[in-house]
Amino acid sequence: MLSINEQVHFSDNLDFFAKQVVEGFLTGLHKSPYHGFSVEFAEHRLYNQGDPIKHVDWKLFGRSDKLFVKKFEEETNLRSFILLDTSSSMYFPEHKNNQISKLEFSIFSSASLMNLFLKQRDGFGLTLYSENLDFFTPAKCSKSHYNRLIAELDKLLVKPNDFIPKATNFHSSISNFIEKIPQRSLVIIFSDMMNFDNDDSYVESFQHLRHRKNEVLLFHVQDFNQEKLFNFSNRPHQFVDLENNQEVKLNPINFQETYRNLYDSFQKKIELECNKYHIEYIPSFINDSFSKVLSAYLIKRSKLF
């Protein structure tokens, strides 16, 4: 069986890949933590005066001469908004050894989620942000809307030759985003959270999101081997900050223990702040299966209804 990274590189069609991920996930889902899509029903009940005629099962009427109504388990449609960090640090790591970047992992995860939203007839929107809110759509549920967002994600898969480094302004982007969405939405964030340690406005943004009664899923996207463990060969390396081009030369082995302690503290701080504001914090590594993203979403959705 191909690894996730190999599957991504062998698939040059984002829509096709998203469908494959979702179909494979649903096939392997023996018992979902939430009971099916809005178009599915658990049983029938006899028609009562005042029930919407559109829910009458006419095929069953033809067999039984009785009017039955489909009894829905879930009739509430959810509005979901994907917030995707497109700052320069998300382009790490560069392509080698069949590895994908944090941005690519987030793109394929987002496409798979949107395919699942479409199947559930839930409204969904996409927002891209870096220093500013670069792209926004309201939540809709249609094939044409899905195709438009897939095309937008597709553009991000090719890094332009004249690429200009971009930092992250989470607070400004979130503030603009919140003003555009209805309250009580589900907000799904994909970010490496690289500026969290020296930017207190992240916490203010979390508070603002929750104050508007939005539910939030934060996928903290990371490279487990290089970013979390700081595993590099035992020789001097030139490290470049992808967002400001600052450089430092060092042998990673000499700093590995210190780095790991600092990184663990950084990650625990994010998790602590998320817990404080009842935000679902999900550490996500670029070698993870995309099914983990879909599972986290379905579990979250099951808690909302």
Q: Tell me, what amino acid is at 182?
A: P
Q: Domain ranges in the chain?
A: 18-29+76-304, 41-72
Would you state the pLDDT for residue 39? Answer: 38
Torsion of CA 139, 141, 146, 147, to 10 degrees: -120
**213 or 165: which leads in pLDDT:** 213
Parallel, antiparallel, or unpaired: how do β-strands 237-240 and 247-250 relate? Answer: antiparallel
**32 or 235: which leads in pLDDT:** 235
CB 223: neighbour CB atoms within 10 A? 20
Give the separation between CA 42 and CA 248, rounded to whole angstroms.
Answer: 61
Question: Looking at 128-132, 142-146, 298-302, which range is the least confident one?
Answer: 298-302
Residue 107 has pLDDT above 90, yes or no: yes
201-241 pLDDT per residue, tens: 888 999 999 999 999 999 999 999 999 999 999 999 999 88
Alpha helices (H) in the chain, listed in sequence order:
4-10, 14-27, 58-64, 102-120, 143-156, 170-180, 201-211, 256-276, 290-304
Would you state the pLDDT for residue 58? Answer: 76
226-279 pLDDT per residue, tens: 999 999 999 999 998 888 888 999 999 999 999 999 999 999 999 999 999 999
Residue 163 has pLDDT above 90, yes or no: no
Tell whether domain 18-29+76-304 is in CATH 1.10.287.110: no
- Ramachandran region, residue 57 (left: φ > 0; alpha: ψ -120 to 50; beta: rest): beta
Give the separation between CA 217 and CA 21, rounded to whole angstroms.
Answer: 20
Q: How far is CA 220 from CA 56, 182, 192, 283, in A?
A: 45, 24, 5, 5
3-state secondary structure of 134: strand
| Cβ pair 42, 73 in contact under 8 A | yes
Q: State the number of CA atoms in the 13 A half-sphere of 127 facing the CB.
A: 28
